[in-house]
């Protein structure tokens, strides 16, 4: 334990002096249930490979310094959010929720998170997005949605000004008029990333193939 704290102090000193830049994630801490408390003074929380089933999402938005959160491969089926609480901004920049059993996301999930740059939801069972999904999280650069059961892509995602990477393969996309309207809005906005680059891995299953 003493050795662990010595290493941690050395690491914090190196970051503070600039010898190590940014947030470096430790090896995964694998748990059989979600902890009653999570550390608030770390920049990265890596619980990948744990067995949580349910996760109270509010603990990650309540005045923590967590920038990178890895809950991939955690056997999660739901994320619990108090609907009566207003969305809270947090320090989260990278969120990894891939390869779980999520069928739906709570309302306003990751809304009003201006610091968020990367979100990985690949390899779940998602069928649709909640209202206000990623609303006002306009600095998002990478979004991974592949290998779900999605059919519709919200226009708000296509209109994100800084989105550079969007992974969509492995879904059953419905290329309806609503989707085409969203594409047109992005084209008219003259976004830096071209549509064909952003949607190059999208396959339409109805009503036609793009």
Domain boundaries of the chain, sorted by first residue: 23-209
DSSP bridge pairs for 56:
80
Tell me the average pLDDT across 102-117: 90
| pLDDT, averaged across the chain | 81
**Cα separation of 169 and 123, whole Å?**
11
pLDDT of residue 18: 42
pLDDT classification of 38: cutoffs 50, 70, 90: confident
65-82 burial by CB neighbour count: b if 16+ within 10 A, else e? ebbbbbbbbbebbbbebe
> 22 pLDDT exceeds 80?
no
pLDDT of residue 207: 63
Lowest mean per-residue pLDDT among 103-107, 139-143, 201-205: 201-205
* pTM to 2 decimal places: 0.81
pLDDT of residue 4: 47
Q: Does domain 23-209 have CATH number 3.80.10.10?
A: yes
Tell me the average pLDDT across 88-115: 90
What are the CA-CA distances from residue 42 to residues 25, 50, 96 (Å)? 9, 19, 17
- Which range of 11-15, 18-22, 123-127, 177-181 scores highest in mean pLDDT? It is 123-127
Query: Phi, psi (5° rounding) for residue 178?
Result: -60, -45
């Amino acid at each position: 334990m003493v050795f662990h704290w010595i290493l941690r102090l050395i690491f914090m000193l190196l970051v503070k002096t600039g010898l190590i830049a940014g947030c470096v994630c430790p090896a995964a801490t694998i748990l059989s249930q979600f902890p009653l408390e999570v550390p608030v003074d770390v920049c990265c929380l890596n619980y990948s490979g744990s067995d949580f089933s349910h996760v109270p999402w509010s603990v990650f938005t309540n005045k923590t310094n967590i920038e990178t959160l890895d809950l991939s491969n955690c056997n999660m089926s739901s994320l619990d959010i108090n609907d009566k609480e207003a969305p809270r901004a947090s320090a989260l920049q990278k969120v990894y929720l891939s390869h779980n059993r999520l069928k739906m996301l709570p309302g306003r999930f990751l809304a009003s998170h201006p610091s968020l740059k990367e979100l990985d939801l690949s390899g779940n069972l998602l069928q649709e997005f909640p209202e206000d999904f990623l609303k006002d999280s306009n600095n998002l650069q990478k979004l991974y949605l592949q290998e779900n059961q999605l059919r519709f892509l919200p226009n708000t995602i296509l209109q994100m000004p800084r989105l550079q990477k969007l992974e969509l393969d492995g879904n059953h996309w419905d290329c309806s008029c609503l989707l085409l309207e969203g594409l047109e809005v992005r084209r008219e906005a003259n976004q830096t990333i071209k549509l064909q680059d952003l949607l190059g891995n999208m396959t339409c299953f109805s009503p036609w193939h793009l």
